[in-house]
Amino acid sequence: MTSVTDRLISPGDAVVAAADRTLVPVRVPWYRSLPLSCWESVAVTLDGQRFGVDQLELRLGDATIPCTELAAKHETFWFVQDTGWLVVPATLDATQVELRVEAEIRIPYILIGPDKALVRHVQDGGTLPVVRSGEQ
C-alpha cells in the first residue's frame, strides 16, 4: 500500500470536465502543510497529452494562481487536509481519463547540504472517472 506522503491523488477522486478546462484534484504529498513556494514544478498528463508548469494554474480555496507564480507564495500555505485543483487548458469528452501528475516539492526543514533542502520527486495517477462541471 502506498503511503499518504507519496500520494498526489486520493482513491475515489474524479477529474472535473468544464467547457474549456479540466480540473485535476491534487493533495499535498507530505505529512505536514507546506507553503506554496515549496512546489518547484508540476506537470499533468491527460490521455498522453502533457501539460507543463507554464500551462497550469492551481485553484486552492477561492484563489487561482498560475503555477509559474507559486515560487513567490512563501506565506500562503497548502494544508494537508485541503484538496487543490490543477486547472488544465484542455477539454474532455470521455467518461474516464488516464491521468499522471508529477511534482517536485521542496521540504524546507530537511537540509541535505549547505543551504540545500530535500526535493521530493512524486508521481501519481491512474485511470480516473470524469464528471461534468456541476455534477460533483
pLDDT of 128 > 50? The answer is: yes
pLDDT of residue 2: 54
pLDDT of residue 5: 72
pLDDT of residue 136: 45
Domains and CATH numbers, the chain: 4-126 (2.60.40)
- The DSSP call for residue 83 is P
* Phi, psi for residue 117 in degrees, rounded to 5: -95, 160
> How far is residue 39's CA from residue 105's CA, in Å, rounded to a whole number?
5
> How far is residue 95's CA from residue 33's CA, in Å, rounded to a whole number?
32
Nearest to 123 by CA among 37, 50, 36, 23: 50
pLDDT of 54 > 60? The answer is: yes
> How far is residue 44's CA from residue 65's CA, in Å, rounded to a whole number?
16
Beta strands at 15-17 and 116-132: parallel, antiparallel or unpaired:
parallel
Block residue for cell numbers 517536485: 104
Nearest to 36 by CA among 100, 106, 85: 106
CA dihedral 20, 56, 79, 82 (to 10 degrees): 20
CA dihedral 109, 111, 116, 117 (to 10 degrees): -50
**Whole-prediction pTM value?**
0.92
pLDDT of 135 > 60? The answer is: no
Q: What is the CA radius of gyration of the chain?
A: 15
Summarize pLDDT for 1-52 with one digit per residue, the tens: 456 677 899 888 999 999 899 999 999 999 999 999 999 999 999 999 999 9
Summarize pLDDT for 87-126 with one digit per residue, the tens: 999 999 899 999 999 999 999 999 999 999 999 999 999 9
Average pLDDT, the chain: 93
